[in-house]
Amino acid sequence: MKILKVLIEYSVSSLNTPFSYVCEDDVNVKVGCRVYVPFGHQNIVAYIIEIEQTNLSLTELNQRDNIDYKYVYKVLDEEPILDEELFNLAKHMEKEYVCPLISCLQTILPPSYKPASSGLNKITYKKLKKVILNENTNYTSLKTKQLELIQKIKDNDGVFLKDLPQGPVQTLKKHGYVDIIEEEVIEDYFEDYVIHTSKKKLNEEQQNAVDTVINTDKTVCLLQGVTGSGKTEVYLQLVEHYIKNNQTAIVLVPEISLTPMVIQRFKERFKDIAVLHGSLSAKEKQIQYDKIKNQEVKVVIGARSAVFAPLKNIGIIILDEEQSTSYKQDKSPTYHARDIAIYRAKVFNAKVLLGSATPSFESKARGVKGVYKMVYLRRRANNHDLPPVEIVNMREHVSDFSPLISYPLDYEIKRCLDNKEKIILLQNRRGYSPYVSCRKCGYTFKCAHCELSMSYHKNGDKFKCHYCNNEVKFNHKCPKCDNEDFLFMGSGTQKIEEVIERNYPQAKILRMDNDTTNIKNGHFKILEKFRNEDYNILLGTQMVAKGLDFHDVTLVGVINADNSLSAADFRSAEYTFGLLSQVAGRAGRGEKKGNVIVQTYNPEHYTLQMASRHEYELFYQTDMIFRNKMKYPPFSYMSSITVLCVKADQACILADNIFEHLKNYKDFELLGPALPYLFKENEKIRVKILVKSKNHNLIRDVFNDINKKFAKEAKERKCSVVFDIDTYHLL
C-alpha cells in the first residue's frame, strides 16, 4: 500500500494543507505527479508532495490513523511535472506572497500542466474555423463594406472566423465568394516575421557592459542605457556567451505585445529558442514548454511568467525594460518577475541583468547603494544625439481646426508627409471616448460590475469596460431621462484617428491598440505594414512607445501628456517620465534626425521639462526628495491587504479588526481601511488597508500570521482576504 499526501486544486487558505489518499503498490506514482482524487461529490486534481510506503492493509491503516482512506481515482502523469528547484521556489513563494502553495504551483506551470481541472480540458489541439477566398470570383457586384472584408481576408491569406463580423461573412459565403475551412492552430507564432540584423561589433561602452556583467561578483546588474544605445545587442552577446559556456538563458520582455521586435531579433540570432507568452493557445504553450523541459532549447524568451521556464543550468536571466509594471502579477501570488529571477539566479549561481533607459526607482536606488552593479550606456549606437523634444503649451498653440492638435504638431506632420518620412503618434487611451455623459441630466455610463466609467467605442457602437471587458451596446438614449444628446468627453485612439483622417486626407494611418491587435499575430501584421508599405502614421497606445526600431521615423508626437501625469498615484511622474523617454526614443534612430513634440496643458511640470531634456538622473533625484518626505517606496516597502465580500458591512468589520491587529506593530505606518477607486469587483465590495514599513520581512511575517489568525473569522463572515506584497496600487 502507498499513502499519497497531496495538495488539492482549490486555492483557498483553509484547504492549504496536505490530504491523504492511498493506492496499491503496483500503481506507478512519483512525487510531483498529478492525480485525480475523490473530494466531496466529485473528482478533482491534486498534486503529490509525499509518498509513504507501508506494509499495512487498508483496514489496518484506517485503524492506525483513524481515517477512512480513499483510493486515488487516476494517476495523470508518468513523470513529475516539476523538478526540485521549481518546487522549492513554489514553497518560497507560498511564504513570500502569503498564498496557498497550490496556487504557486498553478502559477509556475502552463495551462495544460497545471494541477487544476481547468487545465486538463485544454490539452486537445485547437481547431479554428478560417475564412478563405474562393478562387476566380468576380467582385463587381459587391458593396464597399463587403469589398473591405474581401480585402482583409486576402491581405491576411485567410482570417479566423471569430475575428470577422459573422453576418456579412455568412452572406459572402452564401454567394460563393468565400469558403470556411477548419485549421489546427499549432503554428509557430513568429515564423513569418523574422527580420535580419547582423551581429554587430560592440562599441567600447557595450563591450564594457558585457565584461562587467560576466565578471562582477554581484548577482544583479542594472544596465542603464539611453534609448537606441544598443542594449539589445548587449543582451544578445551575453546570451551567446552563456550558451557557449553550456549554460542557458531566460530573456523577459514586457507583455510580448509591447516589444515584438525584440523577440524577432533573438529569434533570428539563436534559431532554436522557446517563446512563451499570453496570447499563445494552451497547446502552443505546451509545445514550447515541452521543448524547454526536454532540454531542446537553451534560450527562452517571454513575458512575465517565462521567469518560471523549467531550464536547467541557468547562466543569466535578463529583464528588458525592467521598469515595466507588467512584471508584477496583480492577482495572488502577487510576485514580481525581478524577485523570482533573483531567487532563481542565486540557486544556479547565475546573473540577473536588468535593462532600461529609465530604471524603476526601486532598482535605481539599489544600484546607487551598490546592492546592484550599475552599468551605463550613455550614447546612442549610431552616435547621434537623442532627439530634441519640444513641449507645446496647448493653452496657447491649439489649432483652430481641432482641440487635439496644436499648430507646431500640425506643421511637423505636414512636413513629414511632404518628405515621405514616417510618424509615430502616442495617445495612451484606446476607444473613442473614455467618458460619455448625458447633456441633459449628467448621467454617465458606468460598468455594472466595477462601477468604473465605460469607454465608448465607435467601432461596434458600444461601451467597453477597460477593467473587466464587460461590453454594452449603446442605444443612444439616456437610461435616466431618455434624452438623446450626449457629451463624448476625453479622447482615445479612435477619436484621434478620426481627427487625423479628417485633417490629413493624404496620410495613410495605422492604429495599434488592444482593439486592432487582438487577432492572431495582430501586432506583427501592423508593424510589418508600417515597415514595408506606404503607411505614414502609426498611431497607438503605449504599444507604439516601446521597443520599436524603425529607422525612417523622424517625428514622434504625444497627443496628450497630461493623462498619465494626473493619475492619483505617487508613481505617476515616474511612469510618465518613462513613457515619454520611451516614445521619444523611437525618433531619429536612422541617419535622419528626429523630432519629438509633446502636447500638454502643464508645460511647466518638472517631469515634462526634465523628460524633454533627457535628464533622468536629475528627475530621479528630484522625485526621490518627494518620495523620501512621504516615506513612499523605495524609502519603504508598501503592501496591501484587501477584504472582499458581497456584503459591505461584513467586509468593513473584518477590515477594521485586521487594522486593529496591525496597530500592534510600531514599525508599520498604516493607511485605511478605505474603499479604493475600484471599490467593487465581480459584485464584491473591496476594503483596503495599506501598510508601509522599512522592514520587508516583518510585513511578510505579519501577513502570514494574519492569514492564519483571521481565517476562521473570514470564513464566518463570508469574506476573502487578499494580500498584495509590494503593491503597485495605492488606491
Q: Which residues bind ligand ADP (CB under 6 A)?
A: 197, 200-203, 206, 225, 227-233, 381-382, 549
Three cell numbers written together for 610:
526634465
Distance of CA 721 to the CA centre of its chain: 24
Which residue is nearest to ligand ADP, using beta carbons? 230
Contacts of 621 (CB under 8 A, 6+ apart): none
Amino acid identity, residue 316? I
Residue 199 or 708: the one with the smaller Cβ distance to ligand ADP is 199
Residue 449 or 508: the one with the smaller Cβ distance to Zn ion is 449
Amino acid identity, residue 54? T
CA distance 410 to 417: 11
E strand intervals along 518-601:
537-540, 553-558, 595-600
Nearest distance in Å: CB 375, ligand ADP: 12
| Residue 279 exposed, middle or buried by CB count within 10 Å (0-12, 13-18, 19+) | middle
| Residue 641 exposed, middle or buried by CB count within 10 Å (0-12, 13-18, 19+) | buried
Residue 263 or 662: the one with the smaller Cβ distance to ligand ADP is 263
Nearest distance in Å: CB 451, Zn ion: 8
Nearest distance in Å: CB 211, ligand ADP: 14
Residue 232 or 554: the one with the smaller Cβ distance to ligand ADP is 232
Contacts of 670 (CB under 8 A, 6+ apart): 659, 662, 663, 689, 690, 691, 692
375 binds, among Zn ion, ligand ADP, none (CB under 5 to 8 A by kind): none
β-pair type (422-426, 553-558): parallel
468 binds, among ligand ADP, Zn ion, none (CB under 5 to 8 A by kind): Zn ion
Residue 495 or 586: the one with the smaller Cβ distance to ligand ADP is 586
| Residue 651 exposed, middle or buried by CB count within 10 Å (0-12, 13-18, 19+) | buried
Nearest distance in Å: CB 551, ligand ADP: 7
CA distance 236 to 298: 13
Place of cell 468565400: 178
Residue 270 or 456: the one with the smaller Cβ distance to ligand ADP is 270
Residue 203 or 470: the one with the smaller Cβ distance to ligand ADP is 203
| Residue 142 exposed, middle or buried by CB count within 10 Å (0-12, 13-18, 19+) | middle
Nearest distance in Å: CB 517, Zn ion: 21
Query: What is the per-residue burial (b if ≥16 Cβ within 10 Å, else e) of 389-408?
Result: bebbebeeebbeebebbbeb
Nearest distance in Å: CB 24, ligand ADP: 58
672 binds, among ligand ADP, Zn ion, none (CB under 5 to 8 A by kind): none
229 binds, among ligand ADP, Zn ion, none (CB under 5 to 8 A by kind): ligand ADP
Beta bridge partners of 39: 42
Q: Which of 550, 609, 715 is nearest to 390 (CA)?
A: 609
Backbone angles phi, psi at 51, to 5 degrees: -130, 130
317 binds, among ligand ADP, Zn ion, none (CB under 5 to 8 A by kind): none
Q: How many other C-beta atoms can be found within 10 angstroms of the C-beta atom of residue 147?
A: 12
Contact 122, 155 (CB under 8 A): no
Q: Which residues bind Zn ion (CB under 5 A)?
A: 447, 449-450, 465, 467-468, 470
Q: Which of 226, 288, 278, 224 is nearest to 253 (CA)?
A: 278
Nearest distance in Å: CB 352, ligand ADP: 18
447 binds, among Zn ion, ligand ADP, none (CB under 5 to 8 A by kind): Zn ion
Residue 147 or 646: the one with the smaller Cβ distance to Zn ion is 646
Distance of CA 432 to the CA centre of its chain: 23
Nearest distance in Å: CB 381, ligand ADP: 3
Three cell numbers written together for 169:
461573412
470 binds, among Zn ion, ligand ADP, none (CB under 5 to 8 A by kind): Zn ion
Residue 170 or 382: the one with the smaller Cβ distance to ligand ADP is 382
How many Cα atoms within 13 Å fall on the side-chain side of residue 716? 7
154 binds, among ligand ADP, Zn ion, none (CB under 5 to 8 A by kind): none
337 binds, among ligand ADP, Zn ion, none (CB under 5 to 8 A by kind): none
CA distance 620 to 628: 12
232 binds, among ligand ADP, Zn ion, none (CB under 5 to 8 A by kind): ligand ADP
Nearest distance in Å: CB 433, Zn ion: 17
Residue 18 or 490: the one with the smaller Cβ distance to Zn ion is 490
| Residue 203 exposed, middle or buried by CB count within 10 Å (0-12, 13-18, 19+) | middle
515 binds, among Zn ion, ligand ADP, none (CB under 5 to 8 A by kind): none
Residue 452 or 645: the one with the smaller Cβ distance to Zn ion is 452
Nearest distance in Å: CB 382, ligand ADP: 6
Residue 32 or 225: the one with the smaller Cβ distance to ligand ADP is 225
Q: How many other C-beta atoms can be found within 10 angstroms of the C-beta atom of residue 272?
A: 10
Collapsing DSSP to helix, strand or coil, 535 comes out as coil
> Pseudo-torsion of CA 460, 466, 467, 468, nearest 10°?
10
134 binds, among ligand ADP, Zn ion, none (CB under 5 to 8 A by kind): none
Residue 214 or 698: the one with the smaller Cβ distance to ligand ADP is 214
Nearest distance in Å: CB 537, Zn ion: 31
Nearest distance in Å: CB 495, Zn ion: 21
453 binds, among Zn ion, ligand ADP, none (CB under 5 to 8 A by kind): none
Nearest distance in Å: CB 548, ligand ADP: 9
